[in-house]
Amino acid sequence: MNLTNQVVPSKEAFVKFIKEYPSNTPITMINVLKFKEKSGRGAESGKQAYLKYSKNMEPLMKAAEAKVVWMGNLTHTLIGDYETQADMVIIVSYPSKDHFLAMTSTPEYEEISKDRKVALEYGGLMASTTIG
């Protein structure tokens, strides 16, 4: 996997996800995050902007019945790209694709997501299903 400066999905990737990910199936989203040193808003760091985004997302996530399964800071890359190591991984589960889409298609999310956009050098987001 080669994560670059992507922060939002391409239109093609998003449409493919909507069409191909099964409805009424639980979904786990894996977030791989690399913060900017500075958000571009004064002394605010990318991590500070992302933490603001996370805090503001809490009510939307609750409404979407989303749950943070695991969250952690990355400290060492043993196998992979050492030069652009991510800073944090967050794993979030949703009851279905529709719950995720309903949450991310609101005007509230559009406003809150501005903090995410200025916070990240890249923000990998991968949809996954549970095996077994």
Domain assignment of residue 10, yes or no:
no
* Tens digit of each residue's pLDDT, the chain (132 residues): 566 668 888 899 999 999 999 989 999 999 999 999 999 999 999 999 999 999 999 999 999 999 999 999 999 988 887 778 899 999 999 999 999 999 999 999 999 999 999 999 999 999 999 887
Question: Using an 8 Å Cβ cutoff, are 54 and 119 in contact?
Answer: no
Bridge partners, 27 (sequence order): 94
Is residue 107 classed as helix, strand or coil in its secondary structure? helix
Domain assignment of residue 31, yes or no:
yes
Taking residue 105's Cβ as centre, other Cβ atoms within 10 Å add up to 9
Domain assignment of residue 109, yes or no:
yes
Looking at the structure of the chain, the number of domains it has is 1
Distance, CA of 121 to CA of 39 (rounded, Å): 10
Domain assignment of residue 113, yes or no:
yes
For 37-58, how does the pLDDT look when each residue is reduced to its tens digit (9 = 90+)? 999 999 999 999 999 999 999 9
Q: Which domain holds residue 98?
A: 23-128
Query: What CATH number does the domain containing 42 carry?
Result: 3.30.70.100
Domain assignment of residue 5, yes or no:
no
Domain assignment of residue 48, yes or no:
yes
Of the candidates 42, 46, 43, which has an alpha carbon nearest to the alpha carbon of residue 7? 46
Distance, CA of 31 to CA of 91 (rounded, Å): 6
Domain assignment of residue 13, yes or no:
no
- pLDDT at residue 4, as a whole number: 66
Q: Which residues, other chains included, contact 42 with Cβ-Cβ below 8 Å and sequence gap of 6+? A: none
Q: Which ranges of the chain would DSSP assign to H, the alpha helix?
A: 11-20, 46-63, 97-104, 107-119
